[in-house]
Amino acid sequence: MKKDFAVIGLGRFGGSICKELSDKGMHVLAIDSDEAKVNEYKNIAYHSVVLDATDEDALKEIGITNFDHVIVAIGENIQASILTAVILTDLDIKRITVKAQNDYHDKILNRIGVHHVVHPERDMGKRLAHSFISNNILEYLELSNEYSIVEVIAGRKMIGKTLISLDVRAKFGCNIVAIKSGSEIDVSPEADKPLKEGDILIIIGADHDINRFEKALIFD
């Protein structure tokens, strides 16, 4: 089922979101106050428009309330980002995601009632830092300020051992929720099945617990 998205702000982050959603066949309205940026996406997005997103009447005129999800990716103009978010929440948009510049910006957006606040630079920094530490860490997804999901290749210390013997939940407080082996993925991994070289574990837990698990079993 296709969803209708509006992306406000066509910088690196907003432009990337716009392109990825369009590539996946979604209907995307690309919005920016800079005509040159809008022109860059007129052949990528389903529709593009030059617009000041802090103008409530202009947003109503383009039918912003008809969109399933509005992403506010305004760059360094925090005031414009906050004002746009206020307008969107007042208009009762189904889902609003806003890029935050810092923790103060994040706090205001949450108080306004934004559904999802993202920190792309910070989140990317965490992913990169994990990948720098070990080649075994494939992906890192922050669920909140304290909890994450990581995708890791089973470390040498884990090969040939079962989930029962590793006892990850009791020892580290995090959970192995799935195991990928080749092209197969097991979302209810057998506790007595030995791990093989190349197996990929999907782990969820508090950041400090995941860090303890990585230090003990993943990092060489």
Question: Over the stretch 10-36, which tens digit does the pLDDT of each residue have?
Answer: 998 999 999 989 988 889 999 999 999
More reliable by pLDDT, 76 or 39: 39
Whole-model pTM: value is: 0.66
Question: Over the stretch 91-149, which tens digit does the pLDDT of each residue have?
Answer: 999 999 999 998 899 999 999 999 989 888 777 777 667 666 677 878 877 787 788 89
Using an 8 Å Cβ cutoff, are 181 and 198 in contact?
yes
Question: Over the stretch 159-177, which tens digit does the pLDDT of each residue have?
Answer: 999 999 999 999 999 999 9
Pairing label, strands 147-153, 200-206: antiparallel
**Distances from the Cα of 121 to the Cαs of 73, 98, 125, 126, in angstroms?**
12, 13, 6, 9
